[in-house]
Amino acid sequence: MIIYGASLSPFVRKTVAFANEKSVEFEHRDRMPGADDPEFRECSPFGKIPGLRDGDYCLSDSTAIAHYLEAKNPDPALIPAEAEARGKVMWFDEFADTIFVAVGGVIFFNRVVATFMGQEPDEAAAVTAETETLPPILAFIEKTLADGREWLVGDNLTLADIAVAAPFKNLDYGRAAVDWDAYPKTQAFKDRVLGRDSFAELLAKDAAMVGG
Ligand SMILES: N[C@@H](CCC(=O)N[C@@H](CS)C(=O)NCC(=O)O)C(=O)O
């Protein structure tokens, strides 16, 4: 099995961690979005990362890949079968992939990626994201964890935790100013999830590029 995609992408981070939690054997191939490698483009027709190849089978989109891996490797269950828990896991996954990644992306793009791409960084946009759009997201996660729960849904690690933890790294890389004293449970949660072995290899690759 091959997972294509640059390690700095929160979607690639989520997918690789999910595959590692499933103890699936795979090779990670670093590919930038839009890379014209035909083997990658066969698996990701629109050039988005991640893409997956499993023999002749190709798939793109982190959530689609997670569902594929879950169906193929049910143990340990990372997407619960029970209706309410499953619905919540899908909600947190969607929240992470859209609402959270969008905000983290503005900070990360303007403070890290823009200069690499020869574009003028928009620092004002990064500051607005940091001070206005990010706090309600962190407050929502903090409220979810307020009852002392370890995991976002149920009593075990799920796709929800992996998906929501993954974008936090892009906040770090974008040097987002976060008042962690206001979000202690969220801070402990993201450190706990990102500290799992399943994230280690990709985070080490990131560190070599952008620092820890
Ligand atoms: N919903 C997709 C989003 C994938 C995505 O947008 N990845 C970004 C990199 S972080 C990308 O490839 N962007 C290039 C583009 O949109 O053309 C997923 O979950 O995999």
The DSSP result for 73-91, as a single string, is --SS-SS-SSHHHHHHHHH
Choosing from 30, 49, 59 the residue with most ligand 1 atoms within 8 A of its CB, the one to mutate for a pocket test is: 49
Domain chopping of the chain, boundaries: 2-72, 83-200
**Is 158 a pocket residue for ligand 1 (Cβ < 6 Å)?**
no
Look up tokens 């999830």; give the residue: 193
**How far is residue 137 CA from its own chain's centroid?**
15
Ligand 1 binding pocket includes 33 (Cβ within 6 Å) = yes
Q: What is residue 210's three-state secondary structure? A: helix
Q: Which fold has domain 2-72?
A: Glutaredoxin (3.40.30)
Measuring from atom 19 of ligand 1, which residue has the nearest CA? 62
Query: Considering the domain 83-200 in this protein, what is its CATH number?
Result: 1.20.1050.10
Tens place of pLDDT for every residue, the chain, 212 residues? 999 999 999 999 999 999 999 999 999 999 999 999 999 999 999 999 999 999 999 999 999 999 999 999 999 999 999 999 999 999 999 999 999 999 999 999 999 999 888 999 999 999 999 999 999 999 999 999 999 999 999 999 999 999 999 999 999 999 999 999 999 999 999 999 999 999 999 999 999 988 76
Per DSSP, the chain holds a count of helices (H) and strands (E) of: 12, 4
φ, ψ dihedrals at 2, nearest 5°: -125, 135
Q: What number does the ligand 1 atom closest to the CA of 9 have?
A: 10
